[in-house]
Amino acid sequence: MQPSRPAIRPRMVKAVTVATTSVILGIGLLAPHAQAAGDSTNAVPQASLQRTQAAAHVRLTKVTPAYWKVTLANPPLNIIGPNEVRELASIVAQIEADGNVKVVVFDSAVPGYFSAHYDLLAPLEDSTGMKPGPTGMHPVPDMMVRIARLPVVTISSIRGRATGIGSELILATDMRFASREKAVLSQWEVGAGLVAGGGPQARLPRLVGRGRAIEILIGSDDINGDIAERYGYVNRSLPDAKLDKFVDSLARRIASFDRQAIVDTKRLVDVASLPPDAEMQPIWDAFIASVGRPETQARLKTLIDKGLQKPGDIEKNLGQATGDLK
């Protein structure tokens, strides 16, 4: 199924029929700058082609040849959209190709946010025009699968909100460590009428069990670091002042070990614990279908009118905001 119309924009338009799937998608909230001239669904936006490392929203730091860091740096909310997905995919390809790296830490340079969620105001063509990744899937599930199966150890250091695709990204990593005071995790999508698209339905039940997975996904509320640790959503919740030192020490310890032993051990753990790759694309397809439902559009419009995707109370308290929708 070809992915279509994941973006949310600020102007309402009529529903359209996707002939290949017979699904009616009522795509609304279209961004004013997103008016397309002709068929541009296969075009890569020029802005993404002109990105430089200095302007990148995802930064790669090679702390040592064996220890790398991937830092999300897209203030004010660390939104992840098509451009950021491309940047992440490029970094994942570098990790896959390097025979020296053993451990990679994912973190954030934006206070208060690991990543709030997917870009709900991106132009439509920026998402529909993305070519499949090496797995053959849309770049979002492709990226999540490739991160999970990297032949290195991946660690998320979570300070601030890791919600929506931010949660899905940390779930794709091997280990997760959270700030006790500052980490907030959630899959808030059902509260807005959406289906989460980055694979948490496949990963969370294997981590936390069925009941807690349903609580997280369908309860759609914010979860602090201590509860996340209790549930198994993260490995440990640590005092904020100790988080960076703990993660860095663990990464350096792993980086000192034999790479082949790491690769072989992780490969065998993957067999016992990772969901089949085939589970991921249908989850993305369900997200795409959910975007167009009139009920979803109404709930998203209410959230955007109140300040979604802007710094402020809605983003800081998204679990409460979705629960308050009528």
184-186 and 223-224 beta bridge pairing: antiparallel
* pLDDT tens, residue by residue, 47-56: 443 444 557 9
Q: How much is the CA Rg of the chain, to the nearest whole Å?
A: 19
* pLDDT tens, residue by residue, 268-313: 999 999 999 999 999 999 998 898 899 999 999 999 999 999 999 9
Asked if pLDDT for residue 97 goes beyond 70, the answer is yes
- What is the pTM assigned to this prediction? 0.85
C-alpha to C-alpha distance for 256 and 130, rounded to whole angstroms: 38
Domains along the sequence of the chain with CATH: 55-242+267-323 (3.90.226.10)
CB 186 within 8 Å of CB 232: no
CB 168 within 8 Å of CB 158: no
Q: Please report, as a single letter, which amino acid is at residue 55.
A: A
